[in-house]
Amino acid sequence: MALIKSVNGILPEWGDNCFIADNATITGDVIIGDDCSIWFNAVVRGDVHYIRIGDNVNIQDGVIIHCTYQKAPVEIGDNVSIAHGAIVHGCTIHDNVLIGMGAIIMDGAVIERNSVIAAGALISKNTVVKSGSVYAGVPAKQIKTVDTELLEGEIHRISDNYNMYASWYDE
């Protein structure tokens, strides 16, 4: 069973049709929408500020989501995929975003809708990734724009597929 802990009397909440892996950890002031999945060894730690996660979000294996005390919460929109081993810290991620494997998103960063952060990218503190951008590198810079093929073929496909993958697991 997942490790779900209250912090200062605040217990995490999640919506309907959510999959939470047996060894995921969710603590404190965390609210997760419907049709989300929190995968193996993921940590969603709302102990020092709040974390809000929209609908149809998948937080894949080994992801860490955390905040900065009294300064930087985490807000994640709908249809977001956060791939294996990424770190999301004190930032805002809008709808229809793909965060690649091992990417790091720092405090105050804003990832606008319909964007892709490449695997291994480092989004520096207070960076604003404009809607429809693909960012890669360390530190990350815009390398191209999101076209329809990338939006439908990757961003939407991945977020939709994770609900299917979650359905394969027995209760």
Higher local confidence (pLDDT), 149 or 63:
63
Mean pLDDT of the chain: 96
CA 97 to chain centre: 9
For residue 20, give every residue at least 6 positions away whose Cβ sits within 8 Å of its Cβ, in sequence order, or none. Answer: 2, 4, 14, 26, 37, 38
Determine the straight-line distance between the first and last CA of the chain, rounded to whole angstroms.
Answer: 10
Q: Answer for the pair 28, 45: CB distance below 8 angstroms, yes or no.
A: yes
Which CATH number, 3.90.550.10, 2.160.10.10, 3.20.20.70, 2.130.10.10, labels domain 3-167? 2.160.10.10
Does residue 53 have a pLDDT over 90?
yes
Place of tokens 């956060």: 82
State the average pLDDT over residues 117-144.
98
Give the Cα separation of 76 and 83 in Å (integer).
14
pLDDT at position 170 is: 78
pLDDT tens string 114-128: 999 999 999 999 999
Q: Which two tokens stand for residue 134?
A: 């693909």
Per-residue confidence band for 61, with pLDDT thresholds at 50, 70 and 90: very high
State the average pLDDT over residues 126-152.
94
Per-residue confidence band for 60, with pLDDT thresholds at 50, 70 and 90: very high
Give the Cα separation of 55 and 33 in Å (integer).
5
Per-residue confidence band for 1, with pLDDT thresholds at 50, 70 and 90: confident
Give the Cα separation of 58 and 63 in Å (integer).
10
pLDDT at position 6 is: 97
Per-residue confidence band for 151, with pLDDT thresholds at 50, 70 and 90: confident
- CA-based radius of gyration for the chain: 15
Give the Cα separation of 133 and 146 in Å (integer).
6
Q: Whole-model pTM?
A: 0.96
CA 34 to chain centre: 14
